[in-house]
Amino acid sequence: MKRPARTPMSRARARSRTTRAFVVSALSTLSVGALTVPAATASAAAARPPSAGAPAVLQARYDLGDQAFTPPAALGYQGRAELAADVYYPAHLGTGRHPLVLMQHGSWETCADAGAQAESSAARQARDRAEQAGDTAEAARQQAIVDRASARLWAWPCAPGTAPILSSGGYDYLARALAARGFVVVSVGANGINATAAGQADTVYQARAALIERHLLLWQRLARSGDGPLRGALTDPRTGAPVTADFRGRVDLGDVGLLGHSMGGGGVMQEIADSSRAHWPSGVTVKAAFTLAPTATWDGDPVTRTPFAVMWGTCDQVNTGSFFEQNSAANRAPIYKYTLTGGNHAFYNRQWSPSSGQVASRDDALPGSAPGTCLSQYDDPAQPQRDQPRLAEERQRRIAADRVTAFFERYLRGRTDRQPYLTGERPFPGEPAHVVTSAYDAGA
């Protein structure tokens, strides 16, 4: 893979340019009952929970080892990672082949060490008090405690008796919605990369892309002949019993979609970059990619041939890059950008969100001056930051699910009736007015 230039990006303040077929629109509100669409093109169903009688979704998991994956030596990346994933699939695989959607989570704490979290929190408060009092020695002592606690939270593998934080399970709402529509969904773990990424910003996205490719190879072999490392490796996550589903001839590796969040989004963008296509496993074709708040520490290799969508929130403190603006002048495939007013970084992942109660879960938006608001992070540099209404966890995830399901139905199943919803020409039913701004460039 091509090593990206080590050029830091700005805080994604770049504005959209006028391009060949560029449309910007704010979605207006519309109740579910107000939308009348023929049954054959009922895009309202593109992102709503399946109705009674819809195909059931089953879940499996595989774990080939905490350090089973070593990035290619040519990358120079130091560290090993797990080969583990959560799998969601239709209960009745039938006789046809199903598109595969592979998901990758971002950078977050790796180990659910509640004691380390409590120590870190207490030491941070003590450090801040010491700094305010001018006691540099005490501040340094407390910082050392923070560092030791942080090392336990970011360890890999986790210490004996400490459960890992399975960030891969945080997108189950997306995975189930897709599986109910006939997709096989594989949400892969990247805790090992998270634990070793510090100081390797120039290669971490390539390592993440290589991890994606390894999982695609595993599934290619399982789908083609039923053998390989995944043979007999899938288990029921509730009981641990072996899963007997036969995926041979039922998964189409020529019809693959990728979804990534945060640094996982950066890894997905690296994987669909023009420079990476030669590294795709033989017989594997990535047809489209959707990224949720994708991060980047480089200007990015061009992505001109693969349709992609980027979603980010105005109260997201993380540098989510400007992939849409960077590629809109040269893209030959359609690309999209969705801006969520009041959306933040953590809420896309249920494990990371406060309602989960998981160790390290938090609301990472800066609070505004009034209840129910957050401080905007990506306003025009010439304008001051301002309070914005906050999106609740479930609202943000519903908005994401609407577009993710419609997007992959459009590009992996050819559902052109989803297009007006993706471009913003039509609003998704029940969506509040002016929460989402859509940008679309049809490409050459």
Q: What is the pTM of this model?
A: 0.88
- Out of 21-25, 162-166, 170-174, 229-233, pick the least confident: 21-25
Confidence of residue 10 (pLDDT cuts 50, 70, 90): very low
Residues 6+ apart with CB under 8 A from 119: 145, 148, 149
Asked if 436 and 27 touch (Cβ cutoff 8 Å), the reply is yes
Q: Worst-scoring range by mean pLDDT, 14-18, 124-128, 269-273?
A: 14-18
Residue 10 maps to a domain = no
CA distance 11 to 190: 25
CB 192 within 8 A of CB 153: no
* Total residues belonging to the chain: 444
Residue 214 maps to a domain: yes
The CATH number assigned to the domain holding 345 equals 3.40.50.1820
In the sheet with 286-292, reading across from the earlier edge strand, the strands are 22-26, 436-441, 335-340, 308-313, 286-292, 251-261, 98-104, 184-188, 84-90, 57-63
pLDDT tens-digit readout, 299-350 = 668 999 999 999 999 999 887 878 999 999 899 999 999 999 999 999 999 9
Tokens for 330, please give them: 């040269």
Q: DSSP label at 81? A: B
Residue whose C-alpha is closest to residue 87's, from 250, 201, 200: 250
| pLDDT of 385 strictly over 90 | no
Q: In this predicted model, what pLDDT tens digit does every residue of 218-268 receive, in sequence order?
A: 999 999 999 999 999 999 999 999 999 999 999 999 999 999 999 999 999
Place of tokens 């189930």: 176
DSSP code for 65: -
pLDDT higher at 54 or 243: 243
Contact 120, 146 (CB under 8 A): yes
Give which of 182, 185, 196, 205 is closest to 272, Cα–Cα: 205
Write the CB contacts of 226 (distance below 8 Å, at least 6 apart in sequence): 246, 247, 248
Give which of 71, 84, 60 is closest to 229, Cα–Cα: 84
How many domains does the chain fold into? 1
Determine, yes or no, domain membership for 291: yes
Q: Is the pLDDT of residue 5 over 90?
A: no
Residue 148 lies in a domain: no
CA 290 to CA 90: how far, in whole Å? 21
Cα dihedral 185, 186, 191, 197 sign: negative
**Within-domain flag for 116:** no
Read off the pLDDT band of 298 (50, 70, 90). Answer: low
Angle at 53 between CA 50 and CA 57, to 5 degrees: 60
Q: Of 92-106, 154-168, 356-370, 371-385, which gets the smallest average pLDDT?
A: 371-385
pLDDT tens for each residue of 415-438: 999 999 999 999 999 998 889 999
Residue pair 342/390 in contact (Cβ under 8 Å)? The answer is: yes
Residue 384 or 253, more confident: 253
Find the domain containing 175 and state its range: 22-111+154-441
- Side chain identity, residue 40: A
The Cα 237–Cα 439 span in angstroms is 39
What is the percent of the chain where pLDDT is above 90?
79
Following CA atoms 182, 184, 189, 194 in sequence, which dihedral angle do they give, to the nearest 10 degrees? -60
pLDDT of 36 reads: 30
Greatest extent of the chain over all pairs of C-alpha atoms, in Å: 71
pLDDT at 53: 53
Antiparallel, parallel or unpaired: β 286-292 and 251-261 = parallel
Q: Does some domain include residue 428?
A: yes
Locus of tokens 């969904």: 185
DSSP secondary structure letters along 104-131? E------B--HHHHHHHHHHHHHHHHHH
Backbone angles phi, psi at 125, to 5 degrees: -65, -45
Average pLDDT, rounded, for the chain: 87
pLDDT value for 78:
96
Residue 92 maps to a domain: yes
Cβ contacts of 158 within 8 Å, gap of 6 or more: 110, 111, 112, 113, 164
Would you state the pLDDT for residue 380? Answer: 65
Contact 436, 338 (CB under 8 A): yes
- Could you give the percent of the chain with pLDDT greater than 70? 86
Average of pLDDT values for 186-207?
96
Summarize the confidence of residues 364-388 as an average pLDDT.
84
pLDDT at 111: 98
Backbone conformation region of residue 76, classed left if phi is above 0, alpha if psi is from -120 to 50, else beta: left
Structure-token pair, residue 20: 């060949």
User: So what's the pLDDT on residue 9?
Assistant: 32
Q: Is residue 200 part of a domain?
A: yes
CA distance 80 to 439: 38
> Beta 57-63 vs 22-26: how paired, if at all?
unpaired
